[in-house]
């Protein structure tokens, strides 16, 4: 963009024929024409920069919006919801005057281009969303998906991503308590790096992103603005990768977790002293987003002097300053008489803070540079009234064929020996193997409130030291299920996360999601997206857990090949006293192992079909949300009343996977009997939903059975906790040592 | 009466609040100290907590060592004030030359977080009196730069004088020479270690063990009985 003469609003009005690089900035022709129509003239370079990033898929949700509305329309009544969709993050009431905010976001594209920084700044971004709500961040979780575990590029991407998440999160002092690591060739050129965070605050401390009160000052604080991450949202996150284009590494931001730690402490101190009217973090689209969103959510307009923005590089143009996605920056709206104190707190924490503008009583967002007005827009047209697309969608032609390729017809093990070999192969396969090599690179202990962390079913954090109030979070998603049936796949992701929260003894309250899909310009992908959203919205309605916010990541594809549709669902739960939590590990020999729920021949999309047959076809397990609700109620009651000492949800890998995990974590074996009506293979490998195993002390057996019987939940006593092997009576026995070797060595051998 | 134990917050300190909690649970009174303030507020002992002070930039502990508060800590430690450095605090203590040797990046080049088995090799310091000599304990460990190194002469001297306070057992998590996890100065009032005793003080939290609590009860008893 030319910098001489300065492209002011007046200049733009007088030079209607100047060609602007709208296409290079990722805008479509009709979108550019719409901007001209809104402004009644051509935009200035600075205005174009703002519109281009704010109207990008990543920021505007232009392809997904029409579907996402269902989350609001079908939202179940919930007393717990304090702040819903649309803010930086949703806020949920967890009782005793506490509120919890949580959200999951994607940082997929940057993490492929530059794994360490991409993943690191993903953590940084989600944490700033949490602080911007007024909360102290208390934990992070990281659902991750990579290409095949033995592919050479996975060895480039995964260690970098893991080191980046650890390097940033550990340095911020946030315990990493959950998440997932999944491998599938479909993510080879498009890993999914989703990052979630939880924050805790008192009800009265909730802050919102809005600029109100004419005369109030707009303060930019945190890192200086540099040339990094320009176009991150528009160019990087909103297009598919293409080998023919130049490297996009410069569009990835570089993180400084130390700066972010200072930002957290200084922001929380300003909140404590009630100095902040409105606040917004600078993430995707940087200042363009922060100024336009603050202004459009408030009652007035805003005037900003861009010359006052502290820069790392004095040669940056105003367009670049507006588009920069330099990390660790926040924007606060502060009453004039409180500005000095705000700046003092920033100085205490060695954080640079600058007044860059003020709220006006008009309704325009005006930005000045070198004395000239370079932006004069209605902020709503930038932030909220971007294009909305009704993208065409159609059930893909191959869907029927895929579903007809029934996994239940795959050859099954014929002998006990074969069954045993397949068990070893399953628990040692990359997806089912222990992820300890990865999670041991994250700090689980910092802040001293971690009750449960991965590989537990959900991460759990104590909120109040006196009462023991705690929150739990689980994130789940299964792209294989969703590929077979996106509607059911999304519901199964929710079911699993909901179940995981309940398994640890917490009551599920609310949902955040990260919807990872391919290109919305492909009708087949758009159909997957529409189905998944519909499925999730319907299921949230039925389970009474509203979606409080989340993120959509589209264009996750390389060339024509899209990733599996991958809705990742986070469920937040509450537990009155963390002393009642239920761990996964078997605790005591002789305790009775019960299987809760119904087991059917369901192998479509299963881990068994993938590991043994490299197969994906058929239908995913049947969804039964009422069963999930009942199972959750039983698990929560049993945990509260001390009827169970361990519990583990059944999901990918089936019962045998769950038993092996509980055994290895507890250092205790199990002796199991195949229940009547089931064959050993189905018993071990089926992935029917709505199931869990629990270990019941003998003294509680009658009470536990009575409870399940009274509520109508099918249960079967399948065995006892034993000493040092997992034995399936009449079939085979595997020592814990053999299982440990198979389960715990895989990831390190492939990736270290 | 109880003892007042100061916990320094540097920019980037992470376990300062956890350490205050551990001190409180042990029955002492935690006192927050700020890195820019030379005043130690007449505390009876000081803990330098874990974290990434100044982002570990330059070298872990290298910048914090020059904080105003450290001038007083160094002066008073030499006069006998009990000082405990945990993880980053240990790094600050070696940078400040209150303890010998230094820390390099873990030999495997990764951050590591685990429940670590240790042996108490010296139960005679200000911070370890409540342990038995040679007691085996589990304390969470989490660090990037935890590989303790010193020259052979220094290592031999530490061993000969019984100044190796903790040694890693079963598994050396970072390549520390002679499996050293923690050391003390000649007088036994300054102790530094890489594992985090403040994360092992409550039965429900973290690993569920309370093997770290004796650090804080040790110092309390010593101060109250003094």
pLDDT grade for A552, boundaries at 50, 70 and 90: very high
Q: Quick check: bond before A342 cis, omega within 30?
A: no
- Please, which pLDDT band fits residue A261 given cuts at 50, 70 and 90? very high
> For the whole model, what pTM was predicted?
0.95
pLDDT for res A238: 56
Q: How many percent of chain A have pLDDT more than 70?
A: 96
Does residue A143 register a pLDDT over 90? yes
Q: Residue A3: pLDDT above 50?
A: no
Identify the pLDDT of residue A2. 44
Could you identify the residue written with the tokens 């191959």?
A: A398
The conformation of residue A52, written as its DSSP 8-state character, comes to H
The lowest-confidence range among A91-100, A284-293, A348-357 is A284-293
pLDDT digits (tens, 9 = 90+) for A575-624: 999 999 999 999 999 999 999 999 999 999 999 999 999 999 999 999 99
Residue A711 predicted with pLDDT over 80: yes
pLDDT value at residue B141: 97
- Between these two residues, A87 and A69, which has the higher pLDDT value? A69
Catalytic annotation, residues of A: 58, 107
- Domain range for B66: 4-225
pLDDT for A5 equals 80
Mean pLDDT of A707-725: 96
CA distances from A458 to A271, A517, A549, A736 (A): 30, 25, 20, 24
For helices A625-640 and A486-503, the axis angle rounded to 10 degrees is: 10
Q: Which of A6-10, A84-88, A172-176, B198-202 has the lowest mean pLDDT?
A: A84-88
* Whether pLDDT at A658 is above 60: yes
The burial class, CB within 10 Å (0-12 / 13-18 / 19+), for A660 is buried
More confident: A246 or A275: A275
A326 annotated as a binding-site residue: yes
B114 contact residues in A (CB cutoff 8 A): 440
* pLDDT band, residue A247 (cuts 50/70/90): low
Among A120-129, A415-424, B189-198, where is mean pLDDT lowest?
A120-129
Mean pLDDT, chain A, as a whole number?
Answer: 93
Under a CB-based contact definition with an 8 Å cutoff, are residues A184 and A145 in contact? yes
- Say what the pLDDT of residue A229 is: 73
- Which residues of chain A make contact with B144, given a CB cutoff of 8 A? 167, 170
Return the number of CB contacts < 8 Å for A and B: 94
Distances (CA, A) of B46 to A285, A663, B7, B19: 45, 43, 6, 11
Q: What tokens appear for A129 in the block?
A: 């969303």
Query: In the numeric block, which tokens belong to residue A673?
Result: 């009997």
- With bands split at pLDDT 50, 70 and 90, how would you rate the model's confidence at A712? very high
Task: Give the confidence band of A4 by pLDDT, cuts at 50, 70, 90.
Answer: low
- DSSP state for residue B141 in the 8-state scheme: E
Look at residues A507, A425, A497 and name the one whose alpha carbon lies nearest to residue A457.
A497
Q: Are A177 and A139 in contact (CB under 8 A)?
A: yes
Question: What's phi and psi for A735, nearest 5 deg?
Answer: -75, 155
Determine whether B198 is an active site residue: yes
Q: What is the pLDDT of residue A285?
A: 85
Answer yes or no: is pLDDT of A357 > 90.
Answer: yes
Q: How many domains, in total, are found in chain B?
A: 1
State the pLDDT confidence band at A25, using cuts at 50, 70 and 90.
confident
Contact between B51 and A579 using a beta-carbon 8 Å cutoff: no
Of B38, B67, B95, the closest CA to residue A350 belongs to: B67
Q: Provide the 3-class DSSP secondary structure of residue A604.
A: coil
Cis (ω within 30 of 0) for the bond into A396? no
pLDDT at A178 over 60: yes
Mark yes or no for CB contact B11/A173 under 8 Å.
no
Nearest to A665 by CA among A454, A461, A477: A454
Q: pLDDT digit string (tens) for A227-237?
A: 887 766 565 55
Contact A495, A77 (CB under 8 A): no
Extract the tokens encoding B79.
């006069």
Measure Cα distances from B81 to A230, A338, A346, A392, B119 in Å: 52, 41, 33, 73, 25
Residues 6 or more apart from A401 whose CB is under 8 A from it? none
Closest CA to A490 of A556, A534, A547, A543: A534
3-state SS of A425-451 is HHHCCCCCCCCHHHHCCCCCCCCCCEE
Confidence check: pLDDT of A240 > 70: no
B175 touches chain A (CB under 8 A): no
- What is the three-class DSSP state of A303? strand
Q: Is B11 on the interface with A (CB under 8 A)?
A: yes
CB atoms within 10 A of CB A704: 21
CATH number at residue B206: 3.40.50.880
Is B113 an active-site residue?
no
pLDDT (0 to 100) of residue A232: 60
User: Distance, in angstroms, between B107 CA and closest chain A CA?
Assistant: 13
A187 pLDDT tier (thresholds 50, 70, 90): very high
Closest residue in chain A to residue B21, using alpha carbons only: A448
Chain centroid to Cα A636, Å, comes to 25
> Which whole-number Å values give the CA distances from A17 to A12, A31, A41, A280, A372, in the listed order?
9, 17, 10, 36, 20
Looking at chain A, which residue has its C-alpha nearest residue B17? A447
DSSP A41: S
Q: Which of A173, A266, A453, A645 to probe by mutation at the B interface, max B CB count within 10 Å?
A: A173
Tell me what percent of chain A is helix, strand and coil, each rounded to the nearest 5: 40, 25, 35
A452: closest chain B residue by CA: B206
Report CB contact under 8 Å: B140, A445: yes
Which residue ranges in chain B fall short of pLDDT 50? none
Listed in sequence order, the residues at least 6 apart from A398 whose beta carbon sits closer than 8 Å to its beta carbon are none
Confidence of residue A254 (pLDDT cuts 50, 70, 90): confident
- Spatial contact of A359 and A215, defined as CB atoms under 8 Å apart: yes
């Amino acid at each position: 963009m030319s910098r001489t003469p300065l492209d002011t609003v007046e200049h733009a009005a007088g030079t209607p024929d100047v060609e602007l690089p709208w296409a290079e900035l990722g805008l479509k022709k009709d979108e550019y024409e719409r901007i001209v129509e809104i402004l009644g003239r051509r935009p200035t370079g600075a205005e174009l920069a703002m519109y281009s990033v704010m109207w990008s898929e990543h920021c505007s949700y232009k392809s997904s919006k029409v579907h996402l509305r269902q989350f609001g329309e079908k939202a179940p009544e919930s007393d717990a919801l304090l702040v819903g969709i649309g803010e930086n993050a949703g806020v949920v009431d967890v009782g005793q005057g506490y509120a919890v905010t949580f959200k999951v976001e994607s940082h997929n594209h940057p993490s492929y281009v530059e794994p360490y920084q991409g993943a690191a700044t993903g953590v940084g971004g989600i944490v700033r969303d949490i602080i911007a709500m007024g909360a102290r961040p208390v934990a992070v979780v990281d659902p991750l998906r990579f290409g095949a575990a033995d592919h050479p590029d996975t060895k480039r991407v995964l260690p970098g991503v893991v080191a980046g998440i650890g390097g940033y999160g550990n340095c911020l002092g946030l315990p990493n308590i959950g998440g997932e690591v999944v491998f599938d060739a479909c993510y080879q050129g498009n890993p999914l790096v989703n990052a979630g965070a939880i924050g805790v605050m008192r009800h009265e401390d909730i802050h919102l992103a809005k600029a109100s009160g004419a005369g109030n000052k707009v303060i930019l604080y945190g890192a200086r603005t540099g040339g990094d991450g320009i176009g991150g949202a528009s160019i990087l996150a909103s297009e598919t990768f293409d080998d023919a284009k130049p490297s996009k590494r410069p569009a990835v931001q570089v993180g400084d977790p130390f700066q972010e730690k200072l930002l957290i402490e200084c922001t929380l101190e300003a909140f404590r002293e009630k100095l902040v009217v409105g606040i917004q973090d600078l993430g995707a689209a940087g200042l363009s987003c922060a100024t336009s969103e603050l202004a459009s959510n408030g009652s007035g307009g805003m005037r900003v002097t861009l010359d006052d923005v502290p820069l790392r590089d004095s040669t940056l143009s105003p367009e670049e300053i507006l588009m920069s996605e330099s990390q660790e920056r926040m924007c606060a709206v502060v009453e004039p008489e409180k500005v000095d104190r705000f700046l003092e707190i920033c100085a205490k924490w060695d954080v640079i803070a600058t007044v860059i503008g003020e709220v006006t009583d008009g309704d325009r967002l005006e930005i000045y540079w070198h004395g000239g007005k370079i932006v004069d827009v209605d902020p709503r047209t930038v932030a909220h009234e971007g294009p909305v697309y009704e993208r065409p969608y159609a059930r893909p032609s191959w869907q029927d064929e895929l579903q007809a390729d029934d996994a239940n017809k795959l050859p099954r093990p014929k002998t006990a020996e074969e069954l045993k070999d397949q068990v070893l192969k399953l628990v040692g396969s990359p997806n089912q193997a222990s992820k300890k090599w990865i999670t041991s690179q994250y700090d689980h202990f910092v802040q001293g409130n971690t009750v449960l962390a991965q590989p537990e079913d959900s991460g759990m954090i104590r909120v109040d030291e006196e009462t023991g109030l705690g929150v739990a979070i689980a994130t789940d998603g299964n792209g294989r299920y969703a590929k077979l049936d996106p509607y059911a796949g999304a519901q199964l992701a929710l079911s699993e996360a909901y179940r995981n929260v309940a398994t640890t003894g917490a009551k599920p309250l609310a949902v955040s999601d990260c919807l990872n899909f391919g290109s919305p310009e492909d009708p087949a992908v758009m159909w997957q997206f529409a189905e998944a959203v519909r499925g999730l919205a319907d299921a949230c309605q039925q389970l009474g857990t509203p979606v409080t916010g989340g993120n959509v990541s589209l264009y996750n594809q390389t060339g024509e090949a899209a990733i599996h549709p991958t809705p990742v669902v986070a469920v937040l739960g509450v537990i009155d006293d963390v002393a009642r939590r239920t761990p996964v590990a078997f605790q005591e020999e002789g305790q009775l192992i019960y299987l809760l729920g119904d087991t059917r021949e369901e192998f479509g999309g299963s881990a068994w079909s993938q590991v043994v047959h490299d197969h994906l076809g058929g239908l995913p397990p049947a969804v039964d949300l009422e069963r999930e609700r009942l199972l959750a109620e039983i698990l929560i009651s049993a945990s509260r009343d001390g009827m169970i000492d361990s519990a583990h949800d059944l999901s990918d890998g089936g019962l045998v996977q769950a038993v092996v995990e509980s055994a290895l974590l507890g250092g205790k074996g199990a002796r199991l009997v195949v229940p009547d009506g089931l064959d050993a293979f189905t018993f071990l490998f089926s992935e029917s939903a709505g199931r869990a195993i629990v270990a019941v002390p003998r003294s509680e057996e009658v009470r536990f059975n009575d409870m399940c019987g009274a509520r109508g939940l099918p249960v079967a006593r399948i065995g006892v906790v034993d000493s040092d092997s997992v034995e399936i009576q009449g079939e085979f026995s595997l020592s814990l040592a053999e299982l440990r070797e198979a389960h715990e060595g895989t990831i390190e051998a492939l990736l270290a | 009466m109880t003892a007042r134990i100061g916990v320094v917050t540097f920019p980037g300190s992470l376990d300062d609040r956890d350490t205050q909690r551990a001190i409180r649970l042990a029955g002492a009174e935690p006192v927050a100290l700020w890195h820019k303030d030379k005043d130690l507020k007449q505390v009876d002992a000081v803990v330098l907590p874990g974290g990434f002070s100044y982002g570990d930039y330059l070298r872990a502990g290298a910048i914090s060592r020059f904080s105003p508060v450290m001038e007083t800590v160094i002066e008073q430690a030499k006069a006998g004030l009990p000082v405990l450095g945990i993880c980053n605090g240990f790094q600050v203590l070696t940078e400040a030359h209150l303890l010998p040797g230094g820390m390099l990046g873990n030999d495997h080049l990764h951050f590591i977080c685990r429940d670590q088995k240790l042996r108490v090799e010296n139960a005679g310091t200000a911070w370890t009196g409540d342990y038995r000599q040679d007691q085996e304990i589990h304390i969470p460990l989490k660090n990037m730069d935890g590989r303790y190194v010193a020259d052979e002469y220094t290592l031999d001297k530490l061993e000969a004088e019984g100044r190796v306070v903790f040694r890693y057992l079963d598994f050396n998590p970072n390549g520390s020479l002679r499996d050293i996890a923690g050391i003390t100065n000649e007088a036994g009032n300054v102790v530094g270690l890489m594992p985090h005793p403040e994360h092992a003080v409550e039965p429900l939290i973290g690993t569920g063990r309370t093997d770290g609590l004796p650090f804080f009860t040790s110092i309390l008893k010593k101060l109250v009985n003094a």
